[in-house]
Structure 1
């Protein structure tokens, strides 16, 4: 989706054959920077979306079945060692790693990095603020990151291809 300002003419000055400077699309970086930011955003969108789905499953197991996923530890009632699996959230297994809590932590930090990738792409493309909010929602609404990523990817490639001279020159 191309952003045009209706107050700016999209035609050429009389007889010059060159578009006016006000009608040109400008990016916040070079095409190589934009494509690099797009690749970073794509990787983080898929990783964050996957972690969000794991988080949803973890929350269903935790609050729906009152269980957590544990790796290692010892059963405090029987004294037997615990391998890997679901246990009641009543604290029967001591020690070990609570994989359910690990999913929560990893998703939280991954979402922070996802927001950085969103902001970088948004600032290089010089989009409106609402677009940043929509992209950021992809990390908190299940499946939305996959849908938004596909649309943003196509749009960025189309805008960069349509405006080859819109990038900054360094």
Structure 2
């Protein structure tokens, strides 16, 4: 007679020697990952909008006064991005360099999307989410 497997054991049944992740830790990491992903996407979109605004203003001498709010909102979104990446990094126990690279990705156009996908893949695999 076989005994029912724990959900985390079932997820790792095909991986011999893989450590079991406590369900509560998985829940906390999943929640932190979700917040990080949302913040990364919002920051990335606002950064692209900010770059477009700057190109229009300084490259083409266009009046972009209607987009004056973009820089402030991106700044606030970037702060949220830093906080959510720190939160995820603490829960996932990232090394400092991983967190630094993740944090910098919020100020380079398109990089926040790439790094978000990479971190999502890593965290999902590590914590069997």
The verdict on a shared fold, with TM-score over 0.5 as the criterion, is: yes
State the Cα RMSD in Å: 2.1
Judging changes above 3 Å, is the alpha-carbon distance between structure 1 residues 144 and 57 closer, same or farther for their aligned structure 2 residues? same
CA distance in 2, matches of 1:68, 1:140: 24
1:44 aligns with 2:11: no
CA distance in 2, matches of 1:127, 1:68: 44
* 1:65 and 2:32 correspond: no
Higher helix share: 2
**Which consecutive unaligned segments of at least 5 residues does structure 1 have?**
1-18, 70-97, 163-170
Count of matched residue pairs: 111
Whole-Å separation in 2 of the counterparts to 1:104 and 1:121: 25
Tell me by how many angstroms 1:66 deviates.
Answer: 1.8
Q: State the SS of the aligned residue for 1:67.
A: coil
Change (3 A) 1:26 1:128: farther
Secondary structure at 2:108 match in 1: coil
Query: Is 2:21–2:127's contact at 8 Å kept on the other side of the alignment?
Result: no
Structure 2 counterpart SS, 1:161: coil
The alignment's TM-score, normalised by the length of structure 2, stands at: 0.79
Q: 2:50 matched to 1:112? A: no
Question: Does the alignment pair 1:142 with 2:109?
Answer: yes
Structure 1 position 119, deviation (Å) = 0.3
After the TM superposition, which parts of structure 1 deviate over 2 Å for at least 4 consecutive aligned residues? 24-27
* Higher RCO by CA contacts (8 Å cutoff, separation 6 or greater): 2
Matches within 5 A, 1:147-166: 147-161=114-128
SS class of match (1:138): helix
- Structure 2, gaps ≥5 residues long: 1-16
